[in-house]
Structure 1
Amino acid sequence: MFFNYDVQKGLIIMTKNIQFFDTTLRDGEQTIGVNFSIDQKVAIAKQLEAWGIDVIEAGFPVASDGDFKAVEAVSHAVTKACVTGLARAKKGDIDACVKATQAAAHKQIHVFIATSPIHRKSKLHMSQDEVIASIQDHVSYARRFFDIVEFSPEDATRTEPDFLVRAVQAAIDAGASVINIPDTVGYTNPVEFAALFKNLRENVPDFDNVTFSVHCHDDLGMAVANSLASIENGATRIEGTINGIGERAGNAALEEVAAALYVRHDYYDADNRINLSETKRTSDMISDFTNMAVPHNKAVVGANAFAHESGIHQDGMLKNPQTYEILTPEVVGAHKTTLPLGKLSGSHAVMTKLQEMGYNVTRADMTCIFPIFKAKADTTDVVSEADLRIIMKHVSEVSA
């Protein structure tokens, strides 16, 4: 919690501090066709640190020699962010995390085991009691080496509510100080997620003594919405990736969560360390290294996020940008707002563009110019400056 002083009310108020946990280097690399080099992972980690990420999940050290070396390299490279490695509930996995992160200035470990019925039966072949015993054994083992142990009950949102409580409390009793609630297959929705947290708050005695985190997948397109719902219901750490990359449909896009907390600070009343002006730079780096173009209509960082073609929208933007923009491109380090001219554009936008190009055009002149513009716009996607010059030359010749 942050403590702020309200001058008008003369009160000390508590504001939530939301930690950002980035798993672009681990879960993000599980995107089909993505394989970061160690140098790329180090560069990404440094940029994530500049962006303000609190925790960087640098990899899964036991998975391969390359992953081990990458976690090791990131541990040497960053100085402010906390570095973590992923470990199954296996002592060999934990040992690999210990060795890979030993040079980190700040470190933790992230231990997980599945808890849902389908995972227990089909994957683990373990009973509830066996899963609880494994949690107790491996979280306590990890706690020998790390001051901060994060535990995840994999597939938490499909786990029986009473068993999820047992698993979470067992991890806390064994030494976990961070509990991550993963929506591993993007199954839940904001209402159900709120109910899940309500159940944990009511039945886990140590709920307020640990950090609750969430790791949401986007299989049904609700990862960001679920992440934000968790903040309303007690979570103070959000896990995700840049550009929402990751396994299957990907993870919660951290840049979207950060932008939502900024724009709707009045609602969420939550602060964080994210430097929004580094957002576009961070997104572009991931896009470049993954060779995955950011969709033009992607929220916050897409090429069209700050572009307006509709005549009604363009007219509003020219009169007051806040009519159609709740976030300015400058805030997230993007280029300026654009008003591309097309068949839906109005005469106000066309006139303004012509004036910017140096033409002395009045509203009266537009009665002649605008029909010619519309005819051209019907034959092309975007009317360029070159097209406008041709239009103005034609108008000049006709007038002469």
Structure 2
Amino acid sequence: MSQVQTSRFNHKKYQSFQQSMPALKMENRQWPSNSITQAPQWCAVDLRDGNQALIEPMSVAQKQKMWNLMVKMGFKHIEVGFPSASQPDFDFVRWLIEENQIPEDVTIQVLTQARDELIERTYQSLAGAERAIVHVYNSTSPVQREKVFGLDKQGIIDIAVRGAKKVQDEAKKYPMTTWTFEYSPESFSSTETDFAIEVCNAVINVWQPSADNKTIINLPATVECAGPNVFADQVETFCKGVNQRENIIISIHTHNDRGCAVAAAEMAILAGADRIEGTLMGNGERTGNMDLITMAMNLYSQGIDPEIDLSIADEVVATVEECTQIKTHPRHPWFGELVYTAFSGSHQDAIKKCLSVQRDDQQWDVAYLPIDPRDLGRDYQSVIRVNSQSGKGGVAYIMETGFGINLPRWMQIELSRAVQEYSVRHSCEVDNETIYKIFQQQFVQANQNFEQQYQVLGYEVHKQGEQESIQASICDGSVHGETQTIHGQGKGVISALSDGLHKTLGIDFQVQHFDQIALSKGTNSQAMAFVQIKINNRKYMGVSEHQDIMTATINSVLAAINAYIDAVQ
């Protein structure tokens, strides 16, 4: 008798967040109509929250390097560890203080649970600091109350109040330090909002903050379990209900379980929050913390000063990778290796056209590039890269910016086809040098390898009214370098040359496209000429470069004739 297989992937064992935590009834929510107009206060927690999430916690040298980076970037609040729970964290805090590593405008922050012995140890680690934030927390959500601690709501409030009093009492033992107190109702986003307000008000009542000595109330989405709009409702409700709002800094600490940590943090700012905690590049428990780089760059891209230095993108990436041993995804928002790279042909074409008209004194407005990559220390060489999906725009951009060759549009099409064929054949991306090599081999050097090659040895051009006449000596490689002299007339040199070649060689052709460019400036400038001719309904191309533009022009036509002769033999 066969046994029926049942799937373990069963959505019915989960309930929606609104079933476990009824939605707030907000008849006049304000946050959807608000706008972010300035950067929040930032607090980087890489050395604590980020560090505790690593397979191998940072070494002392790595912590020091990460610290130096965050100071260099301009972070004013930096959480440096959990000194009561970790001897390495304790020692690192002591190093910062004893070695005078903390700039005058930077305040360190440390975390502790609301337990007497841990709070005492925390203050011991901070002895001698000029200023510091002591961040105390306890869990408040129903699942923590009921299944972890076995306490009712009052029991949770009692823990918070005892912790607040202990933090306050210990601070008095170190009067030389300027203290700021911070409290977190851990798992705020999973806690009934009215109860979170009640707990925090009890803590605020102990600390009695003032305009000159504000308290930080930090609201964590310790586990992200609902949409960012729900979190924004919770924050707005909290801001309206908490006591002494004018003396409170509302801080936000979101996690990324649903992939919405940045969105939740931004919406929380709209809802009234003042401060954001997070990590560089988003490292943290499970799917990570709120990504400070992403949120700050989001502001920057909207014309808002993020108040931290984001111009050293490559240094940030390299340092975070070295200290966390986590590689940065190439598509990481803003700082990933490929985020300013276009492979798509239509994208490349649009970028090329926009860049050609973008001026430094204008507001930035380039298709597919929300910011100027140069702002982050990147260059345009990495903006457009070529593979089998690419088109003429990308190839043209690389030829122009990398090699100073501004290809005419029809030649862009021809070269992009050749490059695409190469990419498909080799199943690879095609780098700049290879693109140039393909151009040379298939369009420049190819026109110089025919045994029957025609080349101009010398010429004279005369203008008579609207007519031009040409007399040119042509070397015929097919008969051991025999020289022929051609004479022709027409409206323009190309027309006169066509007339002369028809009379001498008996070849009828029509010029479909002709372009010439200067490759460099000055008396020794090199010129390049491109021509496409049509013979018997087939197209042939010639490309030639020379010190003299007229010589390049004549040889480009002869190269196309050579291509025709080679094809019919």
Q: Is residue 395–residue 415 contact of structure 2 (8 Å, CA) maintained in 1?
A: no
State the partner residue of 1:350.
395
> Normalising to structure 2: TM-score of the pair?
0.64
Partner residue of 1:35 out of 57, 73, 76 = 57
Q: Distance in 2 between matches of 1:332 and 1:341?
A: 22
| 2:129 match: secondary structure | coil
| 2:185 match: secondary structure | strand
Structure 2 counterpart of 1:181, one-letter code: L
Q: Bigger CA drift: 330-339 or 152-161?
A: 330-339
State the partner residue of 1:8.
none
Q: Distance in 2 between matches of 1:279 and 1:153?
A: 34
1:64 shift after superposition: 2.1
| 1:378 match: secondary structure | helix
| 1:252 match: secondary structure | coil
Q: Distance in 2 between matches of 1:281 and 1:97?
A: 32
Aligned residues: 383
Pairing 1:83–2:108 present: yes
Q: Distance in 2 between matches of 1:113 and 1:211?
A: 19
State the partner residue of 2:324.
290
Pairing 1:68–2:90 present: yes
Pairing 1:340–2:372 present: no
State the partner residue of 1:167.
199
Q: Deviations over 1:36-63 (max 9, x none)?
A: 1122212211210111112111111111
Q: Is residue 112–residue 137 contact of structure 2 (8 Å, CA) maintained in 1?
A: yes
Q: Using a 3 Å threshold, how does the CA distance of structure 1 residues 399 and 365 change in structure 2: closer, same or farther?
A: farther
Q: Is residue 15–residue 271 contact of structure 1 (8 Å, CA) maintained in 2?
A: no
Q: Distance in 2 between matches of 1:394 and 1:373?
A: 10
1:360 shift after superposition: 6.5
Partner residue of 1:365 out of 398, 407, 411 = 411
Partner residue of 2:344 out of 310, 333, 340 = 310
Q: Is residue 83–residue 101 contact of structure 1 (8 Å, CA) maintained in 2?
A: no
1:27 shift after superposition: 0.9
Q: Is residue 186–residue 222 contact of structure 2 (8 Å, CA) maintained in 1?
A: yes
Gaps in structure 1 of 5+ consecutive residues: 1-13
State the partner residue of 2:368.
324
Q: Deviations over 1:248-282 (max 9, x none)?
A: 111011001111122225xxxx7553122244422
Q: Distance in 2 between matches of 1:289 and 1:170?
A: 39
1:378 shift after superposition: 1.7
Q: Using a 3 Å threshold, how does the CA distance of structure 1 residues 286 and 330 change in structure 2: closer, same or farther?
A: same
Q: Using a 3 Å threshold, how does the CA distance of structure 1 residues 330 and 78 change in structure 2: closer, same or farther?
A: farther
Q: Bigger CA drift: 381-390 or 300-309?
A: 381-390
Q: Distance in 2 between matches of 1:368 and 1:399?
A: 15
Partner residue of 2:139 out of 93, 114, 118 = 114
Q: Deviations over 1:138-194 (max 9, x none)?
A: 112212316211000001111012211101111211216000000001223221112
Pairing 1:395–2:447 present: no
Calculate the aligned-residue CA RMSD, in Å: 2.1
Q: Distance in 2 between matches of 1:48 and 1:29?
A: 14
1:292 shift after superposition: 1.1
Gaps in structure 2 of 5+ consecutive residues: 1-35, 172-177, 210-214, 356-365, 449-569
1:200 shift after superposition: 1.2
Q: Bigger CA drift: 106-115 or 385-394?
A: 385-394
Partner residue of 1:378 out of 396, 410, 424 = 424
State the partner residue of 2:493.
none
| 1:345 match: secondary structure | coil
Higher relative contact order (CA 8 A, sep 6+): 1
Q: Distance in 2 between matches of 1:305 and 1:264?
A: 18
Q: Deviations over 1:273-316 (max 9, x none)?
A: 31222444223201112221100000011001211111111112
Structure 2 counterpart of 1:381, one-letter code: C
Q: Using a 3 Å threshold, how does the CA distance of structure 1 residues 92 and 279 change in structure 2: closer, same or farther?
A: farther
Q: Distance in 2 between matches of 1:334 and 1:26?
A: 30
Structure (1 or 2) with the greater helix fraction = 1
Structure 2 counterpart of 1:352, one-letter code: Y
| 1:150 match: secondary structure | strand
State the partner residue of 1:185.
223
Q: Using a 3 Å threshold, how does the CA distance of structure 1 residues 210 and 189 change in structure 2: closer, same or farther?
A: same
Structure 2 counterpart of 1:328, one-letter code: D
Partner residue of 1:59 out of 69, 81, 103 = 81
1:335 shift after superposition: 4.6
Q: Distance in 1 between matches of 2:428 and 2:168?
A: 59
State the partner residue of 1:141.
166
State the partner residue of 1:226.
264
Q: Is residue 87–residue 109 contact of structure 1 (8 Å, CA) maintained in 2?
A: yes
Pairing 1:92–2:117 present: yes
Q: Bigger CA drift: 147-156 or 312-321?
A: 312-321
State the partner residue of 2:236.
198
Q: Deviations over 1:342-371 (max 9, x none)?
A: 122221321232233255743333343232
State the partner residue of 2:250.
212
1:104 shift after superposition: 2.9
